C-alpha cells in the first residue's frame, strides 16, 4: 500500500512563490551589467554587455542592448517597443551574426513591459552579414576583439 504525502495548500503556495521569485531573479537583468556603446546610427544605439562576451567553440556569443530613437512596431498589434535585449552568436571569420534570443521592451534601456520575444535553437540560426560600419559590423568587431588568445 502506497501512502501519498500530504502537503498543506498554504505551504505549497509559499513554495511555488519562492520558486517563481527565484526564477524571476535569474531572468531579470542583473544590476551589475556593464554596457559599452559600440554603435550609433540614425535609428539606434547598440551596447554590448561586457560581462557576457564569451567563446563558444570557434564562435563568440554576446548580449546586446539596442535603444531605438523612435518606437518600432511590435508583432503584437497595437504595441510598440523602444529597446531590445538580444543574445547574438558571432562568427568572426565569416563576419556574420545570428540571433539566439531577443526580448523587446516598451521603454528605452530595457524598461517597461516585454512586448515581444523570440528565440532560435542552435540548428536553426539565421546568419546575417555584418559589414563594416554598420550596427551588426560594430557589434561583431567589438565582440571579436574580446576573443581569448589561443
Q: What is the DSSP letter of 25?
A: H
Mean pLDDT of 139-145: 97
User: Domains, the chain, ranges and CATH?
Assistant: 35-145 (2.40.128.710)
Of the pLDDT bands very low, low, confident and very high (cuts 50, 70, 90), residue 148 is low
Q: Is the distance from CB of 75 to CB of 92 less than 8 angstroms? A: no
pLDDT digits (tens, 9 = 90+) for 76-115: 899 999 999 999 999 999 999 999 999 999 999 999 999 9
Query: Which pTM was predicted?
Result: 0.76
CA distances from 90 to 11, 14, 67, 126, 146 (A): 46, 42, 20, 11, 12
pLDDT digits (tens, 9 = 90+) for 25-70: 334 444 568 999 999 999 999 999 999 999 999 999 999 999 999 9
Task: List b or e across 108-127, with b for residues whose CB sees 16 or more CB atoms inside 10 angstroms.
Answer: bebeeeebbeeeeeeeebee
Q: Is the distance from CB of 36 to CB of 138 less than 8 angstroms? A: no
Amino acid at each position: 500500500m502506497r501512502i501519498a504525502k500530504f502537503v498543506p495548500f498554504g505551504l505549497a503556495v509559499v513554495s511555488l512563490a519562492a520558486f517563481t521569485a527565484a526564477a524571476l531573479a535569474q531572468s531579470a537583468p542583473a544590476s551589475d551589467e556593464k554596457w559599452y556603446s559600440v554603435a550609433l546610427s540614425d535609428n539606434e544605439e547598440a551596447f554590448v554587455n561586457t560581462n557576457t562576451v564569451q567563446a563558444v567553440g570557434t564562435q563568440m556569443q554576446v548580449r546586446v542592448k539596442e535603444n531605438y530613437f523612435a518606437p518600432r512596431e511590435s508583432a503584437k498589434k497595437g504595441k510598440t517597443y523602444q529597446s531590445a535585449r538580444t543574445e547574438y552568436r558571432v562568427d568572426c571569420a565569416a563576419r556574420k551574426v545570428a540571433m539566439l534570443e531577443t526580448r523587446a521592451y516598451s521603454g528605452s534601456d530595457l524598461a517597461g513591459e516585454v512586448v515581444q520575444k523570440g528565440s532560435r535553437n542552435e540548428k536553426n540560426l539565421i546568419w546575417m552579414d555584418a559589414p563594416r560600419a554598420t550596427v551588426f559590423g560594430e557589434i561583431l568587431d567589438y565582440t571579436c576583439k574580446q576573443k581569448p588568445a589561443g
